[in-house]
């Protein structure tokens, strides 16, 4: 009887357990899954937060060009394409618009991506001015890169970056066909791009220096504390730092690419050494960060101030870039064949012969209106006002040198290239270059 009773009790307990199950054990596997997910997300976050190291330009450009003939502008186009590809191909891909962990938790890498995207946008805006002839692909690339960097719904930022890569690839193929598609000679469009880069670096240096709200600390950096923004909150100091690192990383590769295409222009202007100094300064800004966090110390204390160290490199790069831009604006353009650089009609009088060829090959000085004119007539023509019938090319500019005929209007003019107010930082509008 006892055995029968025990067996009946066991059967009854099993039936009751099936009818009224106890779910208290479920939290254990759920907790284990959650812990594993957090560990995996933490590991991926650390891996994805490692910024890419600077890459060698020659192999990347050779892979982009696919052994096609090198026309002027091919290296610059391929270099920009390689920089944009890095945003998509690095570990984790493009993270700035992620809506799920671990990308949602990260802030340093998205800030770095913004810096790379900012420099890519600046060069993309300058490429149509550098190109010779029709450059519809470059204009479409510029339009794709100007969109919001946090778009996640279709068309997402990744999709637009892929479209920009396709446009650059199509233009790169046209550069290899040996036709008229190439960058213009004489470094056209190079000085405005450098001026815009310098304005962006100036704003970036101010934001980096705003991590310290003490003017005495900023005196050695040649930064006016009165014009700085408000003190950067402690939780955003690392974001500004990594944005600066991203801009310096992208600009380092873009300058190297432009140097290959404009080597003759830089050598003629005597700027090769300055250009290399600028690249070396940006390389120093990419040194390894040994601290696990961005420190915001002061003076000669125990902790360093990484933002001020980066600001020092950025300010030096800004000064070098401004010097390059000013020198290129004043340099004599490289002479080009008349077939590739047709002269535009000028506002000279009907009796005065054209002087475009002399102005393209000689320093900008007041010139005579005719080869047979006497010295006195040349002096009168140089001193004459536009109302007296003198050629605009003979009128000296404010700097004391005559401006070449056919030069595009200054920035801000309705007929000149419009400046993008949203991207031109520092309040300086880039100067426009002469049209071919």
Question: If you write DSSP's letter for every residue of 377-405 in order, what string do you get?
Answer: HHHHHHH--GGGT--GGGSB-TTSSBPPT
Residues sharing a CB contact under 8 Å with residue 132, sequence separation 6 or more, in sequence order: 180, 181, 182, 183, 184, 340, 436
Q: Assign 87 a pLDDT band (cuts: 50, 70, 90).
A: very high
Mean pLDDT of 7-24: 64
Measured over all CA atoms, what is the biggest interatomic distance in the chain, rounded to whole angstroms?
Answer: 142
Quote the CA–CA distance of 207 and 410 in Å, as a whole number. 29
Lowest mean pLDDT among 64-78, 115-129, 212-226: 212-226
Question: Cα-Cα-Cα-Cα dihedral of 105, 110, 111, 113, to 10°?
Answer: 170
pLDDT at 424: 38
- 384: how many CB neighbours lie within 10 A of its CB? 15
Q: Cα separations (Å) of 5 from 12, 15, 18, 218?
A: 10, 15, 20, 90
Q: Assign 330 a pLDDT band (cuts: 50, 70, 90).
A: confident
Mean pLDDT of 227-242: 84
Q: Assign 345 a pLDDT band (cuts: 50, 70, 90).
A: very low
Higher pLDDT: 78 or 349? It is 78
Residues sharing a CB contact under 8 Å with residue 287, sequence separation 6 or more, in sequence order: none
Quote the CA–CA distance of 419 and 412 in Å, as a whole number. 7
Quote the CA–CA distance of 175 and 132 in Å, as a whole number. 11
Mean pLDDT of 98-118: 92
pLDDT at 338: 40
Joined together, the tokens standing for residue 231 give: 């003190």
pLDDT at 71: 81
pLDDT digits (tens, 9 = 90+) for 162-199: 999 999 998 888 886 665 678 888 888 999 999 999 99
Average pLDDT, the chain: 75
Contact between 234 and 195 under an 8 Å Cβ cutoff? The reply is no
Mean pLDDT of 243-257: 95
Mean pLDDT of 145-171: 92
What residue spans of 235-290 are helical by DSSP H? 237-261, 263-269, 272-284
pLDDT at 77: 92
Higher pLDDT: 384 or 41? It is 41
Contact between 60 and 82 under an 8 Å Cβ cutoff? The reply is yes
Is a pLDDT exceeding 70 seen at residue 274?
yes
pLDDT at 222: 58
Lowest mean pLDDT among 30-34, 58-62, 144-148: 58-62
Is a pLDDT exceeding 80 seen at residue 328?
yes
pLDDT at 216: 58
Is a pLDDT exceeding 80 seen at residue 272?
yes
Residues sharing a CB contact under 8 Å with residue 398, sequence separation 6 or more, in sequence order: none
pLDDT at 394: 35
What residue spans of 331-432 are helical by DSSP H? 356-361, 375-383
Q: Which residues of 163-178 are buried (b: 16+ CB within 10 A; e: fewer)?
A: bbbebbbebbebbbee
Query: How much is the CA Rg of the chain, to the nearest whole Å?
Result: 30
Quote the CA–CA distance of 190 and 193 in Å, as a whole number. 5
Which residues are bridge partners to 57 per DSSP?
none
Contact between 208 and 312 under an 8 Å Cβ cutoff? The reply is no
Peptide bond into 102 cis (omega under 30): yes
Is a pLDDT exceeding 60 seen at residue 221?
no
Quote the CA–CA distance of 196 and 427 in Å, as a whole number. 10
pLDDT at 213: 62
Quote the CA–CA distance of 150 and 147 in Å, as a whole number. 9
Q: Could you tell me which of 158, 92, 94, 83 has the C-alpha nearest to residue 121?
A: 83
Quote the CA–CA distance of 252 and 255 in Å, as a whole number. 5
């Amino acid at each position: 009887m006892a055995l029968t009773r025990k067996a009946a009790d066991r059967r009854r307990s099993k039936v009751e357990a099936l009818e009224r199950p106890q779910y208290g054990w479920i939290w254990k596997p759920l907790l284990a899954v959650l812990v594993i997910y957090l560990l995996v997300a933490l590991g991926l976050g650390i891996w994805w937060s490692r910024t890419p190291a600077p890459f060698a330009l020659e192999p990347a450009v050779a892979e982009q060009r696919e052994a096609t003939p090198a026309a002027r502008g091919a290296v610059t186009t391929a270099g920009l394409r390689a920089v944009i590809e890095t945003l998509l191909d690095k570990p984790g891909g493009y993270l700035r618009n992620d809506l799920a962990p671990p990308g949602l938790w990260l802030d340093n890498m998205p800030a770095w991506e913004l810096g790379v995207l900012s420099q890519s946008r600046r060069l993309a805006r300058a490429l149509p001015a550098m190109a010779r002839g029709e450059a519809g692909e470059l204009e479409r690339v510029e339009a794709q890169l100007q969109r919001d960097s946090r778009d996640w719904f279709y068309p997402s930022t990744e999709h637009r970056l892929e479209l920009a890569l396709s446009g650059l690839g199509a233009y790169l193929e046209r550069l290899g066909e040996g036709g008229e598609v190439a960058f213009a000679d004489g470094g056209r469009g190079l000085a405005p791009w450098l001026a815009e880069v310098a304005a962006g670096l100036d704003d970036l240096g101010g934001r980096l220096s705003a991590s310290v709200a003490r003017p005495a600390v900023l005196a050695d950096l040649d930064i006016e504390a009165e014009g700085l923004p408000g003190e950067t909150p402690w939780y955003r100091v690392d974001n500004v730092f990594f944005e600066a690192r991203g801009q310096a990383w992208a600009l380092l590769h873009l300058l190297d690419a432009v140097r290959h295409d404009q080597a003759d222009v830089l050598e003629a202007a005597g700027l090769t050494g300055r250009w290399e100094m600028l690249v070396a300064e940006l390389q120093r800004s990419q040194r390894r960060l040994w601290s696990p966090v961005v420190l915001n110390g002061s003076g000669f204390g125990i902790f360093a101030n990484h933002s001020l160290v980066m600001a020092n490199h950025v300010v030096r790069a800004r000064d070098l870039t401004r010097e390059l831009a000013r020198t290129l604006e004043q340099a004599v353009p490289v002479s080009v064949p008349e077939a590739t650089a047709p002269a535009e009609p000028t506002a000279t009088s009907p009796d005065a012969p054209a002087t475009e060829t002399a102005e393209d090959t000689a320093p900008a000085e007041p010139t005579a209106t005719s080869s047979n004119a006497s010295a006195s007539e040349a002096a009168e023509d140089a001193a004459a006002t536009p109302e007296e019938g003198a050629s605009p090319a003979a009128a000296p500019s404010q700097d004391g040198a005559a401006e070449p005929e056919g030069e595009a209007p200054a920035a801000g003019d309705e007929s000149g290239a419009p400046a993008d107010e949203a991207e031109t930082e520092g309040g300086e509008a880039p100067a426009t270059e002469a049209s071919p």
